[in-house]
Amino acid sequence: MASKYAIGIDLGTTNCVLAYRTLEEENAEIKLLEVPQASAASTIENRYSLPSFCYLATEAESAAAAFSLPWDDNKDYAVGELARRQSADVPGRTVAAAKSWLAHSRVDRRDAILPWNAPEDVKKISPVEASRRYLRHLVDAWNNKFPQEPLALQQVVLTVPASFDASARELTMEAARLAGLPESLVLLEEPQAAVYAWLADVGDGWRKKLRLGDNLLVFDVGGGTTDFTLIGVEEENGELTLKRIAVGNHILVGGDNMDLTIAHVARNIFADKGINLDPWQSVALWHSCRAAKEHLLSEDGPQVYPVTILGRGSKLIGGTVTAELSAEQVKSILAEGFFPICKADAVPVRKSASGFRELGLAFESDAAVTRHLANFLRVQGQNGVSVQPSHVLFNGGVFKADIFKSRTLEAVKSWFGEDVESLEQNPDLDYSVARGASFYAFVKQGKGLRIRGGAARSYYVGIETSGPAVPGMERPLSALCVVPFGMEEGSQIDVPSEEIGLVVGEPAKFRFFSSSVRHQDTAGTIVERFNDTQIEETDSLEADLPADEKFTDMYVPVLFQSRITELGVFELWCRSTISDDSWKLEFSVRENQ
Amino acid sequence: MNRVELALRTFFWIFFKKEFRDKIAPYFDYKRQIGVEEEAEEKAVPVVLPQEKKTRRSDAVGLLALLQREGRLVDFFKEPIDSYSDAQIGAAVRDVHKDCAAVLERVFDIIPLVEKEEGTQMPVLPGFDPDQIRLTGNVAGNPPYNGILRHCGWKANRCELPLWQGAEEAVNVVAPAEVELN
């Protein structure tokens, strides 16, 4: 059966969205799937987004089938709106930010660790399982609505942060497969999806907006993460094409951090009035501050806005407390704290002790995203000269507030002395990634412009430098490049290197590294003496070498072969040089530190 | 006409009156079978009730529960306000207003019935629908009339209430009691 729909799924840190369009018409409209979900016990509502939260039900709730769905009667958990509300009231039973955990290489992401700090008797789940549940819910919602066109038979694109490394991508893929997404599933970087959403809106008009040699910066600030991507405009056979030329590192700061900062200020105002807030009120304060932020930052917004926490019991007015936030105060805290006009050579402050710490996740110690941006443009440049973007595409709900766009444009202008143009984006920033992914699922059928990219990072295997072993000294580790930056999907490379000996009958294990800045390395390049600002360690790789009679020696000499499948999945193989055997190395997401 | 009678009449009219059939069909997304050409494009399918054994509760209670859950509306109306100052009430109302407005928007998508500015001329033609236009003031003679639009009217563009599937005993629960455990 042929696919009928091009489906884009945004598996976000705080919200999931599914967008779709038919494959049959050239200019079909992109629509959003209404997702039925529990909004309270025994209550189902349709929403366009599915909050990425999972509430683990008590036995009483499961027994009462309080979270039944149209397609499933017996659920011992609920995802979506109800779970989002529960995250405030029952944090110990609610999984949040599972996606940030997927990229967190210091924990076993297949291990049941969430909710982090949950009470003993709660049956925890793994980050992979949480992601699977969100995706499964979307699959079921789709199949419920289109029983004749099951999702597993459609063209599906799932988005991931550009800064996700190979192992986080693989775990996402694993969750997707378990959730019943099709084998042909393709992963797309979120900032690219934002560009596709823009392309879907402007159509062929993009050729008038961008010129040869332009650099488009995609600046994506989500709820919990910030992502940078640079896309260059190149020429091929007389036609303009787009090529992704760089992506930044994973930066754990986003809109939620802004709301928390404002809440912190408001809490002090309450404290000055002699009102100390309890934990329930603190959560309410956070939500209230989000609304206050949106009002105070809007163009014709008020000068002051009351932050109100309604009384908790049925006495609503009697228990209400209020503090006034001024627009000036909020603007200066957010603009100076998150979008300072910094220097072009600014370096994000690295401080481990302070900053935002929550849930055991390592939040950035420097919340200034413009400083991260300056750093990104500089490390992607050459000889200390930063890459100058000509256009910016803003993505993420944070940019609904114009002040953050104008601060960014101002900062960039101060670095280069020239204006940078902001591309007009569909105002519905919450849905653009899913819409762009749906559009990509359509164009990848050969029906429109594709952004060329290839591997967003270069990858390295750690090998011990040969030479005499010095007692008490670790042998120095070198990094052998196995995937060069930009390696294309559907290609494979035999990595030139010296033969590496693997011990027969034992698992072979390699430390594994990646870099978002070393674009010049080719397969076989050996980097000696590197530091973690250039090359970062990620999950190690492992393969089992079963004992076999034909290997008479203890060692099998091998060479590496790297592949990137058509679907964008990375594979590394060890090929024996004395037989036809080869072994695939798998990520070991378990034993890092 | 009671509901049973209405249901029976509907049942038979479907067989015998084509005009009625064509009118009714769109409610059930039933175009193809009665000869109206339609591509297999989807219609907004309401959430299907999973099983019949679940209790159906009154839509009015469902709406009230929704407004209470998201906008604290019942708390607001149940609280005597005489002893509070306007400023105290105002502080609370802002939130109740914002959240209840969001519910109305999402569930009903309420839009003006007449897309005209209030205070401008408004002709009323013969055969107008008194359910949609209410005449006030010096009402005499027969239409056409020419009057001033005083209120644009409201109309629900959709009506998508949450589906409730709880137990019989909870059918009238607007908000559950909350007990915090320490």
Query: What secondary structure, in 3-state letters, does A15-51 show?
Result: EEEEEEEECCCCCCCCEECCEEEEEECCEEEEECEEE
Q: Judge whether residue B15 has pLDDT over 80.
A: no
Q: Does residue B132 lie within any of the structural domains?
A: no
Query: In this predicted complex, what is the ipTM?
Result: 0.76
Residue A29's φ and ψ, nearest 5 degrees, are -75, 145
Which of B55, B58, B165, B171 to substitute to test the interface with A, most A CBs within 10 Å? B165
Residue B26 has pLDDT above 80, yes or no: no
| pLDDT attached to residue A471 | 66
In a domain, B7, yes or no: yes
Position B62 scores a pLDDT of 93
With respect to residue B6, please indicate whether it lies within any of the assigned structural domains: yes
Query: Beta strand A582-588 with A536-544: parallel, antiparallel or unpaired?
Result: antiparallel
Q: Measured between alpha carbons, how far is A516 from A538 in angstroms, rounded to an integer?
A: 13
Tell me the pLDDT band of A555, cut-offs 50, 70 and 90.
confident
Q: What pLDDT is stored for residue A530 in this prediction? A: 80
Q: Is the CB of A41 inside 8 Å of chain B's CB atoms?
A: yes
In a domain, B115, yes or no: no
A146 touches chain B (CB under 8 A): yes
**Average pLDDT of the residues of chain A:** 87
Give the other-Cβ count within 10 Å of A488's Cβ. 11
Q: Give the pLDDT of residue A547.
A: 74
Residue B162 and residue A316: Cβ atoms within 8 Å?
no
- Contact with chain B for residue A288, Cβ under 8 A: yes
Average pLDDT of the segment spanning A550-575: 85
State the greatest distance between any 2 C-alpha atoms of chain A, in Å, as a whole number. Answer: 84
Q: Does residue B8 lie within any of the structural domains?
A: yes
Rounded Cα–Cα distance for residues A307 and A325 (Å): 7
Least confident of A141-145, A240-244, A589-593, B97-101: A589-593
Domains of chain A by start residue, with CATH = 5-188 (3.30.420.40), 458-588 (no CATH)
Residue B35 lies in a domain: yes
All residues of chain B having their beta carbon less than 8 Å from the beta carbon of residue A314 are 75, 78-79
pTM, two decimal places: 0.83
Q: Inter-chain contact A42–B166, Cβ cutoff 8 Å? A: yes
Residue B82 maps to a domain: no
Alpha-helical (H) ranges within A273-368 are 279-297, 327-338
> In this model, does residue A267 exceed pLDDT 50?
yes
Distances (CA, A) of A514 to A243, A483, A510, A566: 21, 9, 13, 21
B31 within domain boundaries: yes
Residue B20 binned pLDDT confidence (cut-offs 50, 70, 90): low
Token representation of residue A519? 């674009």
Q: How many CB pairs under 8 A join A and B?
A: 88
pLDDT digits (tens, 9 = 90+) for A412-432: 999 999 999 999 877 788 899
Judging by beta carbons within 10 Å of its beta carbon (0-12, 13-18, 19+), is residue A456 exposed, middle or buried? buried
Q: How far is B21 from chain A (nearest CA, A)?
A: 25
The domain total for chain B is: 1
Chain A residue closest in CA terms to B62: A43
Instruction: Provide the residue range defining the domain that includes B17.
Output: 1-44
- Backbone φ/ψ region at A481: left (φ over 0), alpha (ψ -120 to 50), beta: beta
pLDDT tens-digit readout, A90-140: 888 999 888 888 887 777 888 888 888 788 889 999 999 999 999 999 999
**Which of A40, A145, A280 is opposite residue B42, by nearest beta carbon?**
A145
